[in-house]
Amino acid sequence: MGPMFFSFLVATAQKESNKLKEKIITETNKIEPKCIAWRRDFHQHPELSSQEFRTAKIVAAHLRSLGLEVKENVAKTGVVGILKGGKPGPCIGLRADMDGLPIVERVNVPFASKEKTIFNGQEVGVMHACGHDTHVAMLMSVAEILAGMKNDLRGTLKFIFQPAEEGAPEGEEGGAALMVKEGVMENPKVDVLFGLHIESAIEVGQIQYKPGPFMASSDWFTIKVKGKGTHGSQPWLGIDPIVISAQIIQGLQTIVSRQSELTKAPVVITVGKIQGGVRSNIIPDECVMNGTIRTLDSKMQKEVHEKIRQTATKIAEASNAIAEVTIETKTLVTYNDPALVKRMIPSLEASAGKENVLEREWVTGSEDFSYYGTRAPTFFFYLGGMPKGNDPLKAPPHHTADFYVDEGGMKIGIKAFCNLVLDYMNMQK
């Protein structure tokens, strides 16, 4: 092949790529009203983890209408759509989570959720208080755009609509871990996987990312302190598990403030629940604490687990009590493959503008997207959902009744996914 002919091929390929990029912009603008309508419908009808029956039915019907191969009931309520391009190439995965949260919505919008359901034995409201409704709507839009470009695609796309990112019902498996266990990353084997999360404190139009460790692992712990009950007026006749639990809670914080090398990576230990006693003048036999551990380094994660066990058991022993500690891993560290991130940043810059794609520090929140990274290189990034000009410090946080995102940010997310797919496919030629 002569140099002139090679140059001709390169120029032709670039011209084809530019045409497809222009088509993405056109099709994104065209589908935006439909994306917003989908998002509002899902927002008005949220479903809790592993109960996303209505959402999954709508997603599956849409993917079938596009001619995709569709698998339902993956990890209970998950949906997977497979789109085979007209040319050979890699298999790329795109993921959206579908579940809502047990929260009564306070946001004054016409499509606010009025849903009620039973959660842990009590009636609760249900709300998309983390933006998963936007994730589903954006990925449905991406599927429609790319299905319309099927003949030009070099490879296969796997659209993963995942249930239970917020955590499966107690005592059940679910979420990304179960999807991976059931083979979502195989047949065809996923070569690379992309995901995004809309954020209420990042301005619309921006994308933020971090190579390497990005989001923390999440471990949930239970500490049961066994003492000896007695009358509240005679504590010396018993062993007070509530006072000992208070000492343990204080001790856990010194693991963070005095025993962890925080210049290496953050550590957060939170006790979110404590139960002990039934009456003000009775010292009970037991007190139980529940909490979470967030780490961004596997070595530190192991060390923190050991220090929690040591702190709780030794403080209890000092008062002749017993502390039983159990720790369960919920999510791994969400890790962005550095080489993949470096290659794909131009795709994000083409979607949002170079000045709007920003590298950030790590996040102590967690994501079960991390499990996909055990099977293939992954890249997970944040998408702005805060109205322009608002103060990030005053934006309602995720997982709250006032959570709000500006739908104008979804268009950037659609373009980002489409550009990542096309660029990665073209890199493999």
C-beta neighbour count of 186 within 10 angstroms = 11
Return the ∠ at Cα 369 (arms to 172 and 68), rounded to 5°.
90
Catalytic site includes residue 165: yes
One-letter amino acid for residue 74 of the chain: V
- The CA distances from residue 81 to 93, 166, 369, 381, 390, in Å, are 10, 22, 18, 22, 37
DSSP 379: E
Tokens found for residue 334: 């969400």
| Coil/strand/helix, residue 113 | coil
Q: How far apart are CA 77 and CA 174, in angstroms?
A: 9
Catalytic site includes residue 406: no
The answer to whether 101 and 126 have CB atoms below 8 angstroms apart is yes
Catalytic residue among 47, 52, 99, 286: 99
Indicate the helix (H) or strand (E) that contains 20: helix 3-44
The answer to whether 283 and 231 have CB atoms below 8 angstroms apart is yes
For CA atoms 337, 343, 345, 347, the dihedral sign is negative
**Nearest CA among 397, 352, 388 for reference residue 206:** 352
Residue 381, C-beta contacts closer than 8 angstroms, at least 6 positions apart: 195, 196, 197, 207, 208, 209, 336, 348, 416
For CA atoms 200, 203, 207, 211, the dihedral sign is negative
C-beta neighbour count of 270 within 10 angstroms = 15
The answer to whether 368 and 175 have CB atoms below 8 angstroms apart is yes
Catalytic residue among 115, 165, 367, 368: 165
Q: How far apart are CA 117 and CA 106, in angstroms?
A: 17
Catalytic residues: 99, 165
